[in-house]
């Protein structure tokens, strides 16, 4: 679908609403962020590795097989690790169809 690279933002909280579909959309989180929250009015799949932008979420084949879900009308806050062990990529897609994804990136003190 698309890649949204927010790695250079430096003003928090950072809030965006982007359109996604049922294939993975890559979101790149800035190094200083300590929390990211994602959600939608539609149910979502999400992962942080095992695929790339445009890949499908599924159980077999050349797809993202290690993923979790967020029920419709919910936002999931994810605390981010800092330092060299921090994974700064999220892969997010709807469980079906297209929808808008809400993204909130924070630097919590």
Q: What pTM was estimated for this model as a whole?
A: 0.90
Quick: pLDDT tens for 64-89. 999 999 999 999 999 988 777 788 99
Mean pLDDT of 9-34: 95
Task: Please report, to the nearest 10 degrees, the dihedral formed by the alpha carbons of residues 95, 97, 99, 104 taken in order.
Answer: 30
What's the CATH number where 13 sits? Answer: 2.60.120
Task: List the domain range (segments joined by +) for residue 16.
Answer: 3-106
Comparing CA positions, the residue from 15, 86, 17, 87 lying closest to residue 51 is 87
- Name the domain count of the chain: 1
């Amino acid at each position: 679908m698309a890649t949204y690279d927010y790695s250079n933002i430096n003003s928090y909280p950072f809030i965006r609403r982007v359109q996604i579909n049922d294939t993975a959309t890559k979101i790149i989180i800035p190094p200083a962020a300590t929390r990211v929250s994602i959600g939608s009015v539609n149910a979502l799949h999400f992962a942080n590795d095992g695929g790339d932008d445009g890949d499908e979420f599924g159980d077999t084949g050349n797809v993202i097989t290690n993923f979790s879900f967020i029920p419709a009308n919910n936002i999931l806050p994810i605390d981010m690790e800092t330092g060299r062990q921090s994974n700064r990529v999220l892969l997010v897609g709807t469980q079906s169809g297209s929808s808008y994804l809400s993204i909130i990136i924070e630097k919590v003190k």
